[in-house]
Amino acid sequence: MIDQDEQLRLEGRKILIVDDDSEVRAAIDNALQAEGALTQTCGDGNSAVRICEVDPPDLVVLDMMLPKRSGFLVLEKIKRFDKAPYVIMVTANEGRRHQQYAEALGVDGYVLKPVRLERLITLAQELLEGPAEE
């Protein structure tokens, strides 16, 4: 039997979840915590930037459409920080142009809503662990 602790894929990783939809935020929060992540949440772009300045997370799960400051503006700002976190943008917008713009700003992952939580967790784990060694 495998020890429960060995199965936690995001153990001890600080992850900020930014989404203006409280149900989406809660679902992602619960899924990441179940994998051992230390999560923080907020519902607008300005709060996200403040949190990243004061207590930088390892990873940000960032909604594109946010009040006060769009996900694009948050991404642009936090990717300039010395200790820039990884960023996975989540969006219901299927436009390729938006994804290309996010990639130009330095996004590390791009996931369409409705978010498959298993896919999000796997992507977060891959980013935080870095490239696999052969």
pLDDT at 133 over 90: no
Assign 93 a pLDDT band (cuts: 50, 70, 90): confident
Residue 128 inside a domain? The answer is: no
**Rounded CA Rg of the chain:** 14
Domain count, the chain: 1
pLDDT of residue 7: 77
For residue 5, the model assigns a pLDDT of 46
Domain assignment of residue 131, yes or no: no
Residue range(s) defining the domain that contains residue 88:
4-122
Q: Does a structural domain hold residue 129?
A: no
Segment 75-82 long-range contacts (CB within 8 Å, at least 24 positions apart): 75/102, 75/105, 75/106, 75/107, 76/105, 77/49, 77/52, 78/48, 78/49, 78/52, 79/105, 79/106, 81/52, 81/53, 81/56
Contact yes or no for 10/121 (Cβ under 8 A):
yes
CATH code, domain carrying 48? 3.40.50.2300
**pLDDT bracket for residue 1 (50, 70, 90):** very low
Q: What is the pLDDT of residues 31-55, one digit of tens each?
A: 999 999 999 999 999 999 999 999 9
**Does a structural domain hold residue 47?**
yes
Q: What is the pLDDT of residue 2?
A: 46
